[in-house]
Amino acid sequence: MKQFKAYYTSPYKVAQDVISEVGEFRTTCDAYTVLTSNEYEVNVLASKWAKYSEFAQKAGNKVKPYKNNQYIGWQIASMRYATMYNKIDTLLSVTGDLAEVTLEEMLGFTLRASRVDIAATFFFTTPIPDFASQCYDARMAMGEAGKVPRKQWKLIQSENGDTLYVGTRGTGKFIRVYDKSFQYSGTSERGYIWRFEMEYGVGYADTLWQQLRIELENERSIQDYMIKRLWGDCYQKGIMLPVKVEALDTTELRKDKRPTDKDRYLSWMNKTVRPVVQWMIAMGYGEEVSEALGLQTSFIEILEQDELVQAVITLTGPEGRATL
């Protein structure tokens, strides 16, 4: 590579300069965490845990306790399985090779995802051990002109190879670029194999998961979609993959809106409280319901239409009459 001080002005330029040195590359799903509160899907995750953990135990791995926030369960090798205390909610988290070989199978179910990692591994024809440091130095030279603040760029250098981190997990997109040469048997020289990983967290992971489902259902290559998605999202963070790909029609991955406490409470009331209240009013317990909820009732009307009983409670509040 050319000397940085005399040539490089941005990390994009660094990647563009080494595109010709890439002999081949491959794209995979490096990790995923899926969850559900649907009874059928819960049974699916339980069966997958039983199946995969059996293979892992035969390979000599041991089952260990696992806890993540409100989820409690077990982990073995690169897989974790847990349920929420006193609830049906269940999660399954898989990383590494197991994530790659089970991805298409898991995409066949209507699960939600809280994390999805996409990785691209590039095999260079000539070693470039300073690739990550060149990207980092070029970004530092840009000052505050970059798309991601300089403080969110971190370079770790070691005898096994450099690692570059871009972004933060809190933003929902977190990039790792590192020299993977030492992890391959028979490769002693650094700089031959570089890996780019994008960790999609809360807000992006489920959107990406559902898009992968669409690609699979439409019999399109999910590997082709993943490299295009990774290329576009890395570029938006200030990193360019050392490969030329056709851009996606929609380059921006929509971020799901995280529900507020109000949204969660209203959803819970609509799904749980409302049916009970309607049933009790229909059974003639309207006054008791009003008293239990601390509501001052003006009158209660029971309407029957097409054999459907609907309860309408008209309330008198400090600002006049309102209907619940």
Domain that holds residue 21: 4-237
Shared domain for 145 and 18, answered yes or no, is: yes
On whether both 102 and 190 belong to a single domain, the answer is yes
181/41 same-domain check: yes
Average pLDDT value for residue range 185-193: 77
Are 152 and 184 within one domain? yes
pLDDT, tens digit (0-9, with 9 covering 90-100), for 108-134: 999 999 999 999 999 999 999 999 999
pLDDT digits (tens, 9 = 90+) for 52-83: 898 889 889 999 999 988 899 999 998 999 99
The helix (H) or strand (E) run that includes residue 324 is none
- Domain end position, chosen among 221, 237, 253: 237
Q: What is the pLDDT of residue 262?
A: 63
- Give the number of other Cβ atoms within 10 Å of residue 153's Cβ: 21
For the purposes of burial, counting CB atoms within 10 Å of the CB of 232, is it exposed (0-12), middle (13-18) or buried (19 or more)? middle
Residue 163 and residue 57 share a domain: yes
Position 250 in a domain? no
Backbone angles phi, psi at 216, to 5 degrees: -70, -45
Same domain, 175 and 214: yes
- What pLDDT is attached to residue 45? 95
Can you give the pLDDT at residue 252? 58
Mean pLDDT of 190-212: 93
226 plus 265 within the same structural domain:
no
Cα–Cα distance between 85 and 293 in angstroms, integer? 28
pTM of the model: 0.74
Is 230 in the same domain as 291?
Answer: no
The 10s digit of each residue's pLDDT in 230-269 is 999 999 999 999 999 877 765 456 655 544 556 556 766 7
- Window from 34-38, 208-212, 213-217, 250-254 with minimum mean pLDDT: 250-254
Indicate if 233 and 265 belong to the same structural domain. no
- Is there a contact between 231 and 217 (Cβ–Cβ < 8 Å)? no
- In the structure, what pLDDT confidence band is assigned to residue 302 with cuts at 50, 70 and 90? very low
Number of domains in the chain: 2
